Structure 1
Amino acid sequence: MHSISFPTRFLPGTTDNFVSNEVIAKDLTVFDIWHYLIDTAKWELYYDNAANIKLTNGKNSELHYGEHFHFDTFGFPIDAQVMELISPTTDAPVARIAWNGWNNDSAESAIDVYHAFLIEQLPANRVRLLTQESQIGASAAKLAITKPNPMLNGHQAWLDGLVSAARKQL
């Protein structure tokens, strides 16, 4: 199976918080899932932890490599930039998207994150969804010790929502 590559600054185990979530679903393809992940207009239909999404391209609601965007999540306003975007193809049914997100409003809420998704087709008509996020900052350190872990639960809801949306074709 494929893995997510992190910039050195965000290497898991060296940051203030890291979470990893994975789902393997049957009877779906990478293509079924991909559209719901890159089209930010769909996020609020299946994931209630993303709001006020605004892209800087002004052309459409789909994320593109280098795209700057803003959204609110986990109680933070986040500015972000897409750092990796590899769409799936029939010859290579593996997709990747990652963004660097940050909030510098105050010392207490300052956070810098690298959030990545990997979606890959598996044998026997299965698809794997992996999301991992590595975080730096005082608010990240607080999230790391909060029980239950809001990042772990929130990202699981995102993956479950993606699968549900793809099954329903929202």
Structure 2
Amino acid sequence: MITATPHRAPLPHALPVPSSSVRSAHEEDAAELAELSRPFVHSGALRERPASLYAAHAADFLVTQTPGRPIEGCVGLRVHPAVPGEGRGPVGVLYNFCVAGHSQGCGVGAGLLRTVLAMARAQSLDALFTATTGGGGLFLRYGFAPAPAPAPARLAPSSWAESLDPRRNARILTKVL
């Protein structure tokens, strides 16, 4: 008995699937950023911010988006300059970090975080701070740690630390760069 392997026709070339990329936000993204953030505001994970604030601070934001589709995730990075006499250089605060439900677990948040970390290093920031009402697992995987008890008063930018609502029970995380 002779056996032969059947000849398979070559598979047609798959059409390229557009991939998402991280980019700087634009003022025109403001309404979409507010919409992306809305479920997180309703859950208590984020503060409510009007679209006008997103427009005014668009330069703070990175977004992940697949061409022709809605924004999948965003993060804001606000740089706080060094304060004379504090013994530290400039630091950054990450805020309004969110990923659309359908894109969670797909690497969108990790891509945003890697990009914002590279930006912070390129800007020679001494450290990054963020506040989270959740577990902060992604931040912890990327080297953030709970800030020592006096950190908000001593290490974090005081204007930011004082703006945190104590009723939200946010945990401050920091990463030295």
More helix by share: 2
Q: Which is higher, the Rg of structure 1 or of structure 2?
A: 2
- What TM-score do you get using the length of structure 1 for normalisation? 0.32
- What TM-score do you get using the length of structure 2 for normalisation? 0.31
More strand by share: 1
Query: Which structure is richer in relative contact order (CA contacts within 8 A, separation 6 or more)?
Result: 1
